[in-house]
Amino acid sequence: MSNHLVIAPILLPLLVAALQLLVGERRRRTTLALSIASCTGLVLACAALMHAVSGGEALAAVYRIGDWPARFGIVLVADRLSALMVLLTSVLALALLPYALGRWQHRGGHFQPLLQFLLMGLNGAFLTGDLFNLFVFFEVLLAASYGLALHGSGARRVSAGLHYIAVNLTASMLFLLGVSLIFGVTGTLNMAALAELIPHVPERTRALLHAGAAILGVAFLIKTAMWPLGFWLPRTYAAAAPAVAAMFALMTKVGIYVLLRLGLLLFGDGAGPASAHFGSQWMLWGGAATVVAGTIGMLGARDLGKLAGYNVVISAGTLLGAIGLQQEAVTTGALAYLVISTLAIAAFFLVAGLLASDGDDETDDTLLLEPYEQPGETPANESLYAQEDESRVVIPAPIAMLGLSFSACAVLLAGLPPLSGFLAKFALLSPMLEIAGRGAMVLFVLVVVAGLCTVIALCRAGIQIFWVEPERIFPKVRLTESISIALLLGLCLLLTVWVERPLHYLRGTADQLHAPQNYIHAVLPDTEAAP
């Protein structure tokens, strides 16, 4: 494998975004063709990268920019986890492109370049090997997400977007403070070097190191929407354009990725008795509280977009709790749940966008879930009973497609058999039964209850949309929009019938994460290792 393949997921969207800005908004076909070529190339490059880090003897591919030693120079590291995340990012972006071709990309300017810059930031955050460049890529993806959150304008969207910007600027400030404290104590920001140095940090400065790590963790806990820091997420995601909200479902996983990476690399079993498992209990109980908050919010949501947003909160809380347990088998299930939940939530955002849209160019489309019967009105289901004598009922194709897609998303998000959502939750929950301790059992119960409440909330929403309101006018569903939804749900179906090889890869990924010495030796030359 050429080592240059590691930097391709960063350079390709950067160059394509620059070309799209040069081409301009008037040549939309050219801009679109560049986006399709970029996303297709990303999928192929990331698939090759995943194959390279999982098939050979090399556990990680290291790209030293400028050929400087790892501790002082900039390094990109592709291991099983980062290769998985960049492939998931590329696949999701490619699947969302057809959906954006219709009514959505024309509601604001520079949608395609912003998407490419977002891909650059996401891929860079997953591949970087040091905290400084993690901050750089973090800011790149945030800058692109600001533009995408405001895409389409509208009072509701602008208000939520400005709120989103303010929250993330606060997270960036905490990020800088935490990184500064860590650098002041250790003298390096390279992740592998930090893992080598942390066991040797003197006791007089260890508290300062922990303070820096805690502040850095809070910055990413804001991004992962941990309760009570995730108050911003449902409103922002509900207000964003559907394709943007679907992409944002992955952005929440950036914080999950960083916490998983740093938690096991810097504060795993090899960090010494004073630093081992630092912050794990906070993530466990914070994740449990997040699951509770997301479940309550989902049961009370009257907006279909907010309903999807609270599902993001529940998935984030579940993953945070699983990370806090720091058990290899649970980590395997958490990675499976991360992939499936991201694809399912993205598909649900797309379906919700179509259900909330009336087919015109209004930007503040909202579908409110009203009570079944309003006082003083004729029951909404009266017309259904009036048709009981009819021998034939014709269901229009758009309604059938939306109904089936909605049902599939509900089954996936609730974790019901036989789809891959059930397999992912089973892989996540079954190891918890073997873990001694109250935290694992509490998280197990909460995840099961959250699944039950998801069934209740989504069934209620489905009844109100497709049954209680038979006279409801559904929007025209474009072929391109159907393709995006079919691709995402098709991937979930594929992972249902073809599950053994992905699970084998995820087990290897969990093994690699829980044995950080392999990562350290791959990144650091022997001459750079700490004494």
What digits encode the pLDDT tens for the residues 208-262?
999 999 999 999 999 898 988 888 898 889 888 888 899 998 988 999 999 999 9
By the 8 A CB rule, do 310 and 290 touch?
no
For the beta carbon of residue 291, count every other beta carbon within 10 angstroms.
28
Q: What is the structure's pLDDT at 261?
A: 93
- Residue at 272 is within a domain: yes
Q: What is the structure's pLDDT at 271?
A: 78
- Residue at 517 is within a domain: yes
Q: What is the structure's pLDDT at 368?
A: 59
Boundaries of domain holding 77:
3-384+395-528
Q: What is the structure's pLDDT at 178?
A: 93
Q: What is the structure's pLDDT at 385?
A: 40
| C-alpha distance from residue 168 to each of 46, 164, 171, 243, 390 (Å) | 28, 6, 5, 20, 56
- Residue at 35 is within a domain: yes
List, for the chain, all residue ranges whose pLDDT scores fall below the cut of 50: 358-364, 372-391, 393, 527-531
Q: What is the structure's pLDDT at 313?
A: 94
> Residues near 393 by Cβ (< 8 Å), separated by ≥ 6?
387
Residue 75: strand pairing partners: 64
Number of domains in the chain: 1
Model pTM score: 0.89
- Residue at 390 is within a domain: no
Q: What is the structure's pLDDT at 487?
A: 94
Q: What is the structure's pLDDT at 12?
A: 93
- Residue at 491 is within a domain: yes
Q: What is the structure's pLDDT at 520?
A: 87
Q: What is the structure's pLDDT at 28?
A: 77
Q: What is the structure's pLDDT at 382?
A: 45
- Residue at 389 is within a domain: no
User: On the CB side of 170, how many CA atoms lie within 13 Å of its CA?
Assistant: 12
Residues 266, 194: Cα–Cα separation, whole Å:
7
Residues 515, 522: Cα–Cα separation, whole Å:
12
Q: What is the structure's pLDDT at 359?
A: 42
